[in-house]
C-alpha cells in the first residue's frame, strides 16, 4: 500500500502547513497535560465506534495517541496512523504498545491519497482542513461501501468571545453542524450520528487561556504585537471574568457516517 501525495498547493497553504508542524512539534511534550478537552472529546467519540472494528483502521491526526488508545482498547488489529508532525508520531511510538505491523504516514492529511481502510477516525482534527470538501471526497474513496468514518471537530461558536475580543481571524475552518451534515451527504456518506455539545470552560485569566492554547499547539498563528496582545488580555479579562475565572465557550461536534452501499464489511 503506497500513499500518494498531492502536489497542487498554494504558497499560503504551504506556509500554514509549516506553521502547524512547527507549533505541534514544539509542544508535543506538553500536549497531553493540557489537552483535557481533546481527551474528553476522544472518550465521547469512541462511543460512536462499532462494537467490532474492521480489520484495517486509519486514524488521521493521531497526535500523541489520545484516540488511538480507544482504538487499541477495541481490539484494532491493523492500524494506519497519520499525523502532520513527525514529532507527534515519535512520541506516540514511545508511549503506546502498538500492534505489530502498525503503519505510520507522516504528512498533511489533505495531501495524502490514503490506502484502503474499513474505518477512518479523527479526533479534533477536521477544523484544520483548508479544503474540507475536497478532502472528504478523497477520504470517501479510501473506504469500501459500508465503510465508516467517525470524527469530532469544533463548531463556529468555539472561542467566539475570545476571537471577538482580539479581532482574531483564526486559521481554522469552523463549519456549522448543518454544513457538515450536508457535506457528508454530498460526498456520498449517510450520516448515522451528528451530535452537538456546548461547554463552558474556566481559566484563572486570559493569560492562562492563551498559555493553554500554546501548550497544545493551537494558539492563533497570526502573530500579534505586544501592545495588541496586552489589549486583548485586558479586554477579555474585563468582559468575561467571573468569580470562577474567565470563561470560554466551546462548540463540539461528533459525527458517524457510512459510505452508502452494502453493509459494513471487513477488509
Per-residue pLDDT tens over the stretch 147-176: 999 999 999 999 988 888 877 665 567 999
Cβ atoms of residues 118 and 264 within 8 Å = yes
Is residue 98 left, alpha or beta, with left meaning phi > 0 and alpha meaning psi from -120 to 50?
A: beta
Q: Which three cell numbers stand for residue 256?
A: 458517524
Note if the pTM is more than 0.85. yes
Q: Rounded to whole angstroms, how far apart are CA atoms 106 and 126?
A: 16
Q: Rounded to whole angstroms, how far apart are CA atoms 172 and 112?
A: 19
Q: Rounded to whole angstroms, how far apart are CA atoms 213 and 220?
A: 8
Provide the pLDDT confidence category of residue 247 given band limits of 50, 70 and 90.
Answer: confident
Q: What are the residues whose beta carbons fall under 8 Å from the beta carbon of 246, sequence distance 6 or more?
A: 202, 203, 204, 205, 206, 208, 209, 236, 237, 240
Go through the domains of the chain in sequence order and give each one's CATH number. 11-202+249-259 (3.40.50.150)
Q: Which three cell numbers stand for residue 137?
A: 471526497
pLDDT tens for each residue of 195-206: 999 999 999 999
Amino acid at each position: 500500500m503506497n500513499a500518494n501525495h498531492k502536489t497542487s498547493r498554494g504558497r499560503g497553504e504551504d506556509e500554514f502547513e509549516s506553521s502547524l508542524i512547527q507549533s505541534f512539534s514544539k509542544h508535543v511534550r506538553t500536549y497531553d497535560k493540557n489537552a483535557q478537552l481533546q481527551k474528553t472529546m476522544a472518550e465521547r467519540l469512541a462511543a460512536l465506534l462499532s462494537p467490532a472494528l474492521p480489520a484495517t483502521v486509519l486514524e488521521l491526526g493521531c497526535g500523541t495517541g489520545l484516540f488511538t488508545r480507544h482504538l487499541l482498547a477495541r481490539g484494532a488489529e491493523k492500524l494506519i496512523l497519520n499525523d502532520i508532525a513527525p514529532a507527534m508520531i515519535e512520541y506516540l511510538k514511545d508511549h503506546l504498545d502498538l500492534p505489530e505491523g502498525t503503519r505510520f504516514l507522516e504528512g498533511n492529511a489533505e495531501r495524502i491519497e490514503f490506502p484502503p481502510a474499513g474505518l477512518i477516525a479523527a479526533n479534533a482534527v477536521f477544523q484544520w482542513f483548508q479544503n474540507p470538501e475536497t478532502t472528504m471526497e478523497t477520504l470517501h474513496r479510501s473506504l469500501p461501501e459500508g465503510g465508516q468514518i467517525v470524527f469530532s471537530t469544533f463548531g463556529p461558536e468555539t472561542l467566539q468571545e475570545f476571537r471577538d475580543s482580539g479581532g482574531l481571524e483564526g486559521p481554522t475552518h469552523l463549519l456549522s453542524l448543518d454544513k457538515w451534515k450536508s457535506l457528508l451527504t454530498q460526498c456520498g456518506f449517510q450520516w448515522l450520528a451528528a451530535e452537538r455539545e456546548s461547554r463552558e470552560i474556566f481559566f484563572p485569566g486570559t493569560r492562562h487561556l492563551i498559555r493553554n492554547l500554546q501548550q497544545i499547539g493551537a494558539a492563533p498563528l497570526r502573530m500579534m504585537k505586544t501592545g495588541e496582545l496586552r489589549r486583548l488580555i485586558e479586554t477579555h479579562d474585563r468582559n468575561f471574568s467571573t468569580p470562577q475565572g474567565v470563561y470560554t465557550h466551546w462548540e463540539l461536534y461528533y459525527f458517524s457516517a457510512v459510505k452508502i452501499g452494502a453493509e459494513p464489511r471487513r477488509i
